[in-house]
Amino acid sequence: MRLLVCTLASSLLVGHAAILAADHTSLQPIGAVASVARTAQGLRLQCADGASVTLSVLAPDLVRVRTLFAGQTAALDHSWAIARTEWPKTPFTVQENADAVTLGTGELHVVIRRAPLLIEFRDAATGRVLNADARPMARDAKTGAVGAAKKLGFDEHFYGLGEKAARLDKRRGKFTMWNSDTPGYVEGTDPIYQSIPLYLGLEHGVAYGLFYDNAWRSTFEFGHLTQESANYTADGGELDYYFIAGPALKKVVSRYTELTGRMPLPPLWSLGHQQSRYSYYPDKLVEHIADKYRAHDLPLDVIHLDIHYMDGYRVFTWDKTRFPDPAGLARSLSAKGVRLITIVDPGVKFQPEGGYPVYDEGAEKDYYLRQTDGTVYVGEVWPGKSVFVDYTKEEARRWWGDWHRTLTDAGIAGIWTDMNEPADFLDPTGKRHEHIRFDDLGQRTPYNGMRNTFALNMARATYEGLQRLQPDRRPFVITRAGYAGIQRYAVKWTGDNNATFASLSLNVPMFASLGLSGQPFIGADIPGFIGRGDGELLARSYQIAAFSPFFRNHTAIDSYDKEPWRFGAYYEGIARKFIKLRYQLLPFLYTTMEEAHRTGVPLFRPLVLNFQEDENTATIDDQFMVGDALLAAPVTRAAQREREVYLPAGNWFDFWTGAPVEGGRTHVVPAPLDHLPLYVRAGSIIPSTVAMSHTGEKPWDPLRFDIYPDASGAATGSLYEDDGLTSAHERGVFRRTAVSFSGGRLTLHSEGSHRTPARHFEIVLHGDRTVSAVIANGQSLASAHWSRTAKGALTVRIADDGQPLSLEFR
């Protein structure tokens, strides 16, 4: 959330970042290999110019390359991004000849050319080159800038980089990593809020990943002005990267999130519909909003409080006039099934005259960022003059986390962290901050090397604080900025977007890129934060947002109210349709989010993640997959009432009608304003339930399984359930149900200690199948328990007794 007057400053910031980015061609290449030594994990290369390169085998498909250039001081072997540092010992081989050294695992051959020093990664089975240096690694001894240049495949596609206001395939693009406060960004604005220096390459169905773990300002060029190479440069720090072999994109994403950490399983309520604005106050207005949602039959789980709930924008305070009894407000809303989330900014009001305990304690304990001359840095954000916490200090993180008691004791369910690039009204470019030093485990690291990690460590402090304060509840933290590993602590929303169709069209590639960058829990403000928008935009926004994990309506202080009823009954009705669809699909969505928690593979996916061997999907970024089963083709242009939809090879079903649709081709389909073209992949079984006003209103009863057989008459699916709120799932208290259909027989088997209330299953079999009898666990089921729907699907209703179920359709 940010005032519109900052847009000009943000434009200046973008230009500043571009000017400062290092140029790879000005760097001095590393020397040739002079000697090679084997280590416990791989190889150490000594170079003729005094540089050294360490290659560490962490897994058969994961190799770390860490370079110390001549004259460069070694830093601690520590990263704020890395979650896993201990790996099982992986067998490897070493072969040498006069020209090269080869480090081999079961999946990779890393070939190191001696002179010049060039590294290439080959598939162990086929010998195919997956990635290779175009030029030696290099550094500028005067500035400290480092760089690498990789060969660029003629047909290579590039994905990832976290949050970029750009299309899905980054080929021919140039992108800067420098967390920046950029309200009203448009396609091409760069950088914006978040920096994830990871990209995935894909060529002819074979994928790999490269993660450069360096938080300094950096630039990626994927053949921007020349076909010769894909270049990476950073203004300082080490050249330290991890190579991840595929060939599957899903495997790369999964391994990357194993390295940098995976999303914790979110509370079920966080997948519900959320309402916000800058700002709702006083407390009576907040209650009124909740009541209006219930009166309009619009499901709602959360209301957000923006900065005006605080006393003079001082963090961890309440405005006693606007919110005299926050705990009472939280209790009242809770009785209606609505939770409260409050915003928390990093700027602590500079109040040396006393009277503000947060400032006083932080100053006394030396928790604020200092400059090279020893003075505390004082910037300016909403409270006026402000200081900023050095979250690289463990004791400062704990102190910050503990201060959230002022919110949790009032019944606040989650924390929304904002302005954490960090924003500073005095200088959004970061130039004014160059004399700041972060403690960084005693290294006194310059601001330019730590800015990109500021939000990561703030989110960590918040998340860990909530864990301590509410050990029986799953923490829920939202962030605007971040660095690699942010998914361990926070949900990501795409900042201060515009209420325009141009902005809406960015949602699909931005969400997909964030998912490929290890962040499954993502979303954007509906129907856009800045500007008025209209009913058509609201309707189309909800058609995408219904399938994005973070599902929030939000608007700026000077923008038109955007609650669905503001646009009239017709548009409100469309929003209601898709909000209720979201709640009906919660069993499927929650199951898919649990998969993301376990594997790192996101819920919201580009088609290429599921169909990477299909070259047609490589650049499609106006359609998306929801898990493995659903394909959505939203409309993102005003007045458009039909569109082209590409369905990959195989059979598909129209979600709305159940009609079969041919895959392997492009269809032109109608898309009236109240309709989202939505398809089910044949071979899927999708769990769902009935709509409800909030996630805790009632159990999932009936629990429905829609079966969509493939060409062989088979389908599979699953359902994950737990209490949706506590950490009991970490102790094994959950229920996992496997569902399969083959040869006319459905089997349903559950495992786990989580107990569910008494309920019914509804089994819905789609497709043209003649059925004269249904046999349940060997017993003929009375015809009263099964019937045909108006659309021709066969529906069976049966009690869930917690035991395995077998249904035969004869």
Active site members? 418, 421, 496
Give the containing element (helix H, strand E) for 755: none
Q: How remote is the C-alpha of 782 from its chain's centroid?
A: 47
Residue 470: exposure state from Cβ atoms within 10 A (0-12, 13-18, ≥19): middle
Please give the Cα distance from 507 to 512 (Å, whole number).
8
Please give the Cα distance from 809 to 803 (Å, whole number).
19
Q: E strands within 91-166?
A: 93-96, 100-104, 108-113, 118-123, 129-139, 146-151, 157-160
What is the gyration radius of the CA atoms in the chain, in angstroms? 27
Give the containing element (helix H, strand E) for 602: none
Amino acid sitting at position 802:
G
Rounded (5°) CA angle 541-544-547 = 135
Amino acid sitting at position 263:
M
For residues 493-512, b (16+ Cβ closer than 10 Å) or e, as one string? bbbbbbbbbebbbbbbbbbb
Residue that the structure tokens 């190479």 belong to: 229
**Cβ-proximal residues to 274 (8 Å cutoff; 6+ apart), any chain:** 300, 301, 302, 303, 304, 341, 550, 551, 552, 553
**Among 92, 44, 95, residue whose Cα is nearest residue 67:** 44
State how beta strands 630-632 and 642-647 pair: unpaired
Residue that the structure tokens 């989010």 belong to: 593
The one-character DSSP state at 171 is T
Axis-axis angle for helices 326-335, 283-295 (nearest 10): 10
Q: How remote is the C-alpha of 733 from its chain's centroid?
A: 26
Please give the Cα distance from 516 to 157 (Å, whole number).
13
Alpha helices, DSSP H only, in 403-518? 405-408, 454-469, 501-516
DSSP, residue by residue, 49-98: TS-EEEEEEEETTEEEEEEE-TTPPPPPS--SS-----------EEEE-S
Please give the Cα distance from 749 to 777 (Å, whole number).
12
State how beta strands 339-344 and 414-417 pair: parallel
**Cβ-proximal residues to 324 (8 Å cutoff; 6+ apart), any chain:** 283
Cα torsion for 381, 385, 391, 393, to the nearest 10°? Answer: 180
